[in-house]
Amino acid sequence: MLKKIRVILAALFLIGITLLFIGIGHNCWGWMAKLQFLPSLLALNFAVIIGIVLITLLFGRIYCSVICPMGVFQDLVIWIRRKGEKLFKKKKTHKFKYVGEHKWVRYGVFVLSVVSLFVSGQMLIALIAPYSAYGRMVQSIVAACSGSVTAALLITGLLTLIIICVCAWMWGREYCNTICPVGTLLSFMSRFSMFRPQIDESKCINCGKCGRGCKASCIDTKNHKIDYSRCVDCFDCIDTCQEGAIQFRTVCNKKSCAVKADEPVDEGRRAFMVTSAVVAASAAAHAQDHMHGGFAEVIDKKSPERSERLVPFGAVSV
């Protein structure tokens, strides 16, 4: 159920934001663009920033698998690869496996991205930021079809498209967990998320299906551990495990989590957490209609009253 809900929401965001870049439906889909993390961070839209931070602390990197168009696009590429393997009935299908965190590359790129913001190096952010990179991909294709594309836009857009598709096809969410500065920033908070996928060792039969299907390559099946800094909450592992050994639940120690079968679950607390996240996201979206940069209300422009008319240079005064 969780995966189905995620897929539906992710599809809506991908379609809506793609239409925005094409130039269709700004009144319908414009609010989706306002929920993008890096543009909101650069514009100091504190309502959106706080909302995404709260959601990440509650549920992990849901943003990366639902709201971010580049993340959803990579999931689409992976889905096409899997469907193609089933269609052609390949015996040796491409499987993912647990890979350790590439810390030097991951944090090196993140530090360079932060430094570039303070030295006016916007080129690096424009190239690797997920929202701008996805927009460049879409706009280059649209411009090429219309015949009004420039060489620079076409080359950078197609290169970005090829690199993202190859990375997603071969290594899953490697771009999100190694290159993307937004993914790295959110990973600092997702380590402490309250709700997260967890492996129940008593039910696990060590089949390894969850690890082979993890597009983030973050499930260590041998040690029954999940790297939550890289987990993007796609819920594929929950859907794959036929033994029910992986569940999306609150974090607690083994003693406090030893709930008996006849002991009731605290649905009130769970409902409170979900409601808090929904309210935070709604407030963030609503605030964008009234706030600009998170500081002041947007006031309509008014023409000042002038005693004399403004005329071009050299004209005779009336």
Q: In this predicted structure, what is the pLDDT of residue 261?
A: 37
- Burial class (CB within 10 angstroms; exposed 0-12, middle 13-18, buried 19+) of 266: exposed
Q: In this predicted structure, what is the pLDDT of residue 84?
A: 86
Q: State the average pLDDT over residues 78-106.
A: 84
> What is the C-alpha separation between 85 and 81, in angstroms, rounded?
6
pLDDT in tens, 122-141: 777 888 899 999 999 998 88
Q: State the average pLDDT over residues 47-64.
A: 94
- Burial class (CB within 10 angstroms; exposed 0-12, middle 13-18, buried 19+) of 184: buried
> What is the C-alpha separation between 285 and 30, in angstroms, rounded?
10
pTM of the model: 0.77
Q: In this predicted structure, what is the pLDDT of residue 26?
A: 81
Q: In this predicted structure, what is the pLDDT of residue 302?
A: 67
Say if residues 73 and 167 touch (Cβ distance below 8 Å). Answer: no
Q: In this predicted structure, what is the pLDDT of residue 139?
A: 86
Task: Sketch the domain layout of the chain as residue ranges.
Answer: 2-253+266-297
Q: In this predicted structure, what is the pLDDT of residue 293?
A: 41
Helix axes 130-146, 69-87, angle to 10 degrees: 70
Q: In this predicted structure, what is the pLDDT of residue 304?
A: 67
pLDDT in tens, 217-243: 999 999 999 999 999 999 999 988 888
Q: Facing residues of 297 across strands?
A: 291
Q: In this predicted structure, what is the pLDDT of residue 258?
A: 44
Task: Compute and round to an integer the Cα radius of gyration of the chain.
Answer: 23
Length of the chain: 318
Q: How would residue 255 be classed by pLDDT, with cut points 50, 70 and 90?
A: very low
For residue 260, which phi and psi values (nearest 5 degrees)? -75, 160
Contacts of 155 (CB under 8 A, 6+ apart): none
Among 59-63, 296-300, 302-306, name the one with the lowest average pLDDT: 296-300
pLDDT in tens, 155-179: 888 899 999 999 999 999 999 999 9
pLDDT in tens, 5-24: 999 999 999 999 999 998 88
pLDDT in tens, 170-214: 999 999 999 999 999 999 999 999 999 999 988 999 898 999 989
Q: How would residue 282 be classed by pLDDT, with cut points 50, 70 and 90?
A: low
Structure tokens at 175: 């771009």
1, 8, 38 from 128: Cα distances, Å: 33, 26, 11
pLDDT in tens, 147-156: 776 787 788 8
**Residue entry with tokens 């607690």:** 252
> What is the C-alpha separation between 127 and 113, in angstroms, rounded?
10
Average pLDDT, the chain: 81
Coil, helix or strand for 174? helix
Determine what percent of the chain is predicted with pLDDT higher than 70: 77
Q: How would residue 120 be classed by pLDDT, with cut points 50, 70 and 90?
A: low
pLDDT at 253 over 80: no
